[in-house]
A and B are shown apart, each in its own frame.
Chain A
Amino acid sequence: MIKHNARNLTNEEFFYGHKACGGCGESLAVRLTMKILGERTFAALPAGCMSAVSFIYPNMAFTTNAIITPFASTGAVASGMAAGLKALGIENTQTVGFAGDGGTADIGLQALSGAIDRNDDIIYICNDNEAYMNTGIQKSGLTPYGTKTTTSPAGKNLPGSITMKKNMFEIVAAHGIQYAATASVGYPEDLMAKIEKAKNTKGTSYVHIFAPCPTGWGHGSEVTIELAKQAVDSGLWYLAEFENGEFILNKNPKEFASVENYLMAQSRFKHLKEEDIEVIKNHRDAKWAKMRKDWQQK
């Protein structure tokens, strides 16, 4: 399998001129994914930032075939596109769905589950910016504890969101999917390697990409990559794979980087008190104890 890096990565762009905010992490995830998948890619995008910024009539930022799907149906539409390509005898193609965290972990979960169950030959990308951003920052099932959003305000009684991130990667893996992985735009080579694996997977594959959102998180547009890396280094996100029925932890930091540095760089977490940060750290430690015990390490 090709080992992708900046040097051998194609100079050609397949997602260009989009209207995402400057420094948008999701748009980098889509851009790099499209560069690996190539020009014979058919993309399905539900309602969400990535469709909203690329299909603004008469602008169209994808240079390949791409379609907007109803919010709940990324998995189903991608399945249908793959079936259509097969029926028409169009070969050497990739079918990919790019949905947000809301579009994946909440409203699109059923359609995704169906696609995995049928083992349809699609790649499903979850672009996780930890809230419903396109409609103005509402809490989703992937919003972490202590996040201030418009539907989980922080105040005297609540520290913002009071639920933890849904274990979306494990939910997908529990289907017995062919290939699943978590990634981060802060580790682009790892991300590209996982997209390459998904590309070479016959059947359904799922890649969950952690992607900061300067507008919704309240951070400078220049630190998107740095924050995405810090999330992994501080243990608030993890890089893992599910292959041949086994979980693999790709990166196991000996010591976690500062959670406080990561949180305090973002206005969505600025209100957090020491005791709230304790809750976040305890949850992190419990998750890592389980991953370190039960998952292979490679």
Chain B
Amino acid sequence: MNRPKLKQWQEPVNIDAYPVGSTCPSDHLTSINAGWRTYRPVIDTDKCVMCLRCFLLCPDGVIDKSGEKLVIDYDYCKGCGICAHECKPGCIEMVKEEK
């Protein structure tokens, strides 16, 4: 999977350690979004025809199309359900997360 990765982050320990100017570098993720999800999209990769509509329309860009089959970055999927709703052959199922 080719998606930005979670970064290690050390809280500044004193005032001098806080950045001046730009607050932090680009591509700087220090927390994940997985906890937002009530339902998890699960792709039936055997049924999937690779039309890539889900990849195109995911607001979070978490569906990776670089491999032979689609892969979802569950660290950042919010479970919005757009992918499942827009998949014409209906091969994405929204499965309740267990807590």
On A, residues with C-beta under 8 Å from B are 5-7, 9, 11-13, 15-25, 27-28, 31-32, 55, 57-66, 188, 214, 220-226
Chain B interface, DSSP helix/strand/loop, else mixed: loop
Contact with A along B73-99 (1 / 0, CB 8 A): 000101111101110000000000000
Q: How far is the CB of B67 from chain A (nearest CB, A)?
A: 10
Query: Is there an interface contact between A58 and B52, defined as CB atoms closer than 8 Å?
Result: no
Write 12 A-B pairs (CB below 8 A) sorted by A numbering: A5-B56, A6-B55, A16-B29, A17-B4, A18-B60, A23-B59, A28-B57, A31-B61, A59-B28, A63-B27, A225-B85, A226-B85
Query: Is there an interface contact between B26 and A60, defined as CB atoms closer than 8 Å?
Result: yes
Interface size of B as a range: 35 or more
Quick one: which of B30, B55, B57, B84 contacts A59, CB cutoff 8 A?
B30
Query: Is there an interface contact between B82 and A66, defined as CB atoms closer than 8 Å?
Result: no
Q: Name B8-33 residues within 8 Å CB distance of A.
A: 9, 23-33
Query: Is there an interface contact between B4 and A13, defined as CB atoms closer than 8 Å?
Result: yes
Which residue, A11, A27, A188, has most C-beta atoms of chain B within 10 A?
A: A11
Q: How far is the CB of B60 from chain A (nearest CB, A)?
A: 7
Q: How many A-B pairs with Cβ below 8 Å?
A: 110
Which residue, B23, B61, B85, has most C-beta atoms of chain A within 10 A?
A: B61
Query: Is there an interface contact between B4 and A58, defined as CB atoms closer than 8 Å?
Result: no
Q: Which residues of B contact A5 (CB under 8 A)?
A: 56
Query: Is there an interface contact between A222 and B29, defined as CB atoms closer than 8 Å?
Result: no
Q: Which residues of A contact B31 (CB under 8 A)?
A: 59
Query: Is there an interface contact between A62 and B26, defined as CB atoms closer than 8 Å?
Result: yes
Q: How far is the CB of B8 from chain A (nearest CB, A)?
A: 11
Q: Which residues of B contact A222 (CB under 8 A)?
A: 80-82, 84-85
Query: Is there an interface contact between B80 and A59, defined as CB atoms closer than 8 Å?
Result: no
Interface flag for B69 (CB, 8 Å) = no
Quick one: which of A22, A62, A63 contacts B80, CB cutoff 8 A?
A22
**What is the chain B residue whose CB lies nearest that of A16?**
B4
Give the docked Cα–Cα distance between A237 and B60 (Å). Answer: 25
Give the docked Cα–Cα distance between A17 and B4 (Å). Answer: 8
Query: Is there an interface contact between A11 and B59, defined as CB atoms closer than 8 Å?
Result: no
Quick one: which of A6, A17, A60 contacts B23, CB cutoff 8 A?
A60
Quick one: which of B26, B57, B61, B79 contacts A22, CB cutoff 8 A?
B79
